[in-house]
Amino acid sequence: MVALSDRKIEIVRTLVESAPDKIVGGLQRALAETGGDTVLASVRQIVDAETRDRLLRNAVFQPVAPLCVGDGSDKNSLVFPARTLACIWRGLKAQVPADVAAAGKASADVATAIASDRRPPDPNPAFDSLVRVTADALRSSDQRDFRAAAELCDRARPGGAEALAACLDIAPVVRRAIARLPEWVAHPTGDTNAAARLAYKDSVAIAEDAGPRFFEMLAGQLTPPWMVLRIISAVMDKPTERYLADSELGGFPERVMNAVDEELRAIGGMDLDAGPEAGRAAGRLVELITQQVFELEVCIELTRDTGWGRRIVGQKQSLANLVEARLRDADKLSTAALPLQSSGFSRPRRTGPKLESPPDAKVVGRVMTLLHFAHEIRRCANYGGFSAAHAKAMEKIGGMIDHYVDEVFDQVRTGDVEDLKIAHAYLRAAADFNGLVRDDKAAELLRRRSAAACEADSPQPLKPKAG
């Protein structure tokens, strides 16, 4: 097999080096089975080398790497252009190649120790040395790559290069804190809270205004980022809303409340014709809001009648109102999707299933969207304040389905159905609804019953002709 020419190899290397991490990872997986005697073997070697290089780069810059996303222009959080990481890494390899090699050896020694069940050495001194070089170079170096990184940051936001350098100044403190984040977040105790406060003090000892950067960098390590509220609460000993709002950290809870407002608007604008995934997505937003509100209420001393407390109470009420409105829509449309005949008297009375024409696909689709939404929110209904409304709606829709299905089966048994395919279509829709209102077993049982009752070749009793 003919190998790629040197010129083509260089083109591939340039493309791989400029690709995002996600693309490089995808290429590595795609080329994993490539043999050594194929034309792609050299491409695989380039991709593998680039992957190892990026793993080292991301380890060195672990405290700031999550902040390097997109074009770095997000005004709601501290971020830098994604290309910045590549620039400062090239700058380091050009300016201090021996230090980069030492960091690579430290990282490899850790992997070797772990593989042989030995206690791994600490690579942080080698990593922190490179971080300090980077911070100084962003401020003063004329080296091409560092200058390009500084220009990228400054174009994204005024003073962006200095902000990144300031983050790198406290990166060693944040790196040590990252190792303890799981216990700080999941198992807060007096000891863990004291450790968080000590790390915060270490960061502000480096720079008086480092507090917000410290928490921004920790938030970048968390999923979801707003879990950093727990650490802020630990450091400030569950502050009152007045105290936190007046501090330099007041932007963190404000950001969460602004996100809740956006999520409420998204739920209110749910497109019923967009299908089940739209319903599930809106349901996940409901659960997300309940989690965010819980964190705000647990981490901050709130006053219900003023300030943030009043705003959060209003958000909870808006959420409950939106959910209850969607549940009412589900009830109304479910009845429309499984229609009953009405008598012609002055007070219409439903008399039985309306089976003259197939189900309205649009109405059925909307019901499925709403029922997927209702199914998705069942776990958070209690805390969200709409548990009773949810239970009542599901009970009502379930009872309507049972009544409708019984009526259809009665008509099938008595031979009052002119087209069994239409009856079967309605029963399938009812089964789909039942799976979301109750469970999959109830849905499958109804599907089997309807299939058995509505076989096209099932014998039907003859209906006497009228008159």
Residue 383 lies in a domain: yes
> Over the chain (467 residues), what is each successive 10-residue block's mean pLDDT?
63 68 70 67 73 90 95 90 94 95 94 90 95 96 93 94 97 96 90 94 96 96 95 95 94 96 96 96 97 96 92 96 96 94 58 87 96 95 91 96 92 86 92 94 92 64 42
Residue 363 lies in a domain: yes
The verdict on 50 and 102 lying in the same domain is yes
The verdict on 220 and 270 lying in the same domain is no
The verdict on 206 and 268 lying in the same domain is no
Residue 204 lies in a domain: yes
* One-letter amino acid of 177: A
Residue 328 lies in a domain: yes
The verdict on 229 and 266 lying in the same domain is no
The verdict on 389 and 330 lying in the same domain is yes
Quote the pLDDT of residue 460.
46
The verdict on 218 and 286 lying in the same domain is no
The verdict on 196 and 311 lying in the same domain is no
The last residue of one of the domains, among 363, 380, 401, is 401
The verdict on 193 and 278 lying in the same domain is no
Quote the pLDDT of residue 273.
96
The last residue of one of the domains, among 401, 425, 440, is 401
The verdict on 150 and 274 lying in the same domain is no
Total number of domains constituting the chain: 2
Quote the pLDDT of residue 37.
61
The verdict on 126 and 214 lying in the same domain is yes
- pLDDT, one tens digit per residue, over 323-361 is 999 999 999 999 999 998 865 554 555 568 888 899 999
Domain assignment of residue 160, given as a range = 6-235
- pLDDT, one tens digit per residue, over 383-420 is 888 999 999 999 999 999 999 999 999 988 888 888 88
